[in-house]
Amino acid sequence: MKLEFDLSLYLVTDSTMVPAGKTLAETVDQAIQGGVTIVQLREKSADTGDFIATARTVQSITRKARVPLLINDRIDVALAIDADGVHIGQDDMPLSEARRLLGPHKIIGVSVQTCEEAEIAVRGGADYLGIGTCYSTNTKAVKVGPQGPAGIRAVWEHALKVSEPPCKVRAVTIGGVNQYNVAHVLNYACAVNGTCLDGVAIVSAIMTAPDPRLAAQGLQQQINTARQTSGLRPKYDIDHVSQQVAAVFAQSKAGSITPLVQHITNSVVINDCANACLALGGSPIMAADVEEQADLAQVVNALVINIGTLATEQVAGMREAMRHANLHQTPIILDPVAVGATTHRMQVIDEMIRDFGICVIKGNAGEIAALAGSAEMKMRGVDAVGTGFADPVAVVKQVALCHRCVVVMTGVVDYVSDGTNTFAVRNGHKLQSVITGSGCMLKKHQ
């Protein structure tokens, strides 16, 4: 009978990364204590005899902890020590041959980078897929460059599509995943039907850590958080949403909550945004320097990013703030001002959405059109131009589903969607379109 296995926190070893004063066995042992659920021993340059000796040492640790041990690539080593299974790549032994040699009860995972490779592996009976690479990595040479969470999702959705019940395919992603981005990766790579990846494969974030146990614990905490928030959003009616919004404003008015809101925003409206935040019962802090983001992230309750007056040094501060916000599960509100007006702005926003978990994206119709890839609206500077969307509800829902966040599209009628629930808000005023910063200040309500 095949061993049950948990892919949630999957350690891939690399002995060359072990810090001075530690051994590979100690690192694996401590990582398992911290929450690693499965181990793949990868020793690309080891001789057969040395590989077998190392594998036996590591196996004594994994068996004691009842954690499966897989061998990377080397079927002979797996057979020699009676490992729990193997992980093979596209240039290794074919899956069918590996299964013939190992038998039906061993775990076999397959690395895939494309939909075609995933389909072949699924139909060939792989027990799980390792989809990558997500982000750039130096731990392994790859033929296909980093795909980001969106690319991982595309392969994952195809694998699910070709997977035949009752044998549901399982998968992890690998490549540049760490405690700062793991929750974002799991949320963003979740399939449109709500089926999420089974876990993540980690190399350097654990292998290079001074304390592998703490590193694994931190990753496991982020994974648990992602599992609670990923997937399909529940359906809400307008009365429920109205009650929740009213309750928040009532608490704010009563002074029972005073959220500390960090703003990295444009210089045109910085004072107006601070005053709007104060008026709504919040406490604003305008802080953009890279060096202070780690400290601020420990105390702020929300982070607002606005690229209105875009500058290179400001982007560095924004990215560092977003990185630490993700670590602390602090909500990020992104205002992609004039995205689509220039190639540079589009690139900056694309990279932010790829690398960080965003809770809310707020934009005018032209900005949302740029994110949706729609030609119905355009940007002329910071202004949206065009006749409007034929179906604005479908557009905001599409962007929300694509980016796994809430999308607010402002205009004569504002539209708000989380991909499941979509509402129209008709409370604007024509004067809002003839003053500067009304949209920027809107984020303080979110």
Structure tokens at 348: 């900056």
- Rounded to the nearest angstrom, the gap between the alpha carbon of residue 332 and the centroid of all alpha carbons in its chain is 13
Q: Which residue has the tokens 């139909």?
A: 123
Closest CA to 445 of 430, 425, 419, 431: 425
Q: Select which of 134, 190, 405, 440 is catalytic.
A: 440
Closest CA to 131 of 3, 4, 7: 7
277 is catalytic: no
Structure tokens at 260: 């500390």
What is residue 436's three-state secondary structure? coil
Buried b (16+ CB within 10 A) or exposed e, 109-136: bbbbbbbebbbbbbeeebbbbbbbbbbe
Spatial contact of 108 and 86, defined as CB atoms under 8 Å apart = yes
How many angstroms separate the CA atoms of 179 and 176, rounded? 10
Whole-number Cα distances in Å, 133 to 44, 146, 248: 18, 5, 41
What is residue 310's three-state secondary structure? coil
Spatial contact of 132 and 10, defined as CB atoms under 8 Å apart = no
Spatial contact of 345 and 315, defined as CB atoms under 8 Å apart = no
Taken in order 308, 312, 317, 323, the sign of the CA dihedral is positive
Closest CA to 13 of 4, 2, 26, 1: 26
Q: Which residues contact 240 (CB under 8 A, 6 or more apart)?
A: none
For 309, which DSSP code?
T
Spatial contact of 411 and 442, defined as CB atoms under 8 Å apart = no
Q: Which residue has the tokens 């809310």?
A: 360
Virtual torsion, Cα 102, 103, 106, 110, nearest 10 deg: 70
Backbone φ and ψ for 440, nearest 5 degrees, come out as: -65, -40
Catalytic residues: 440
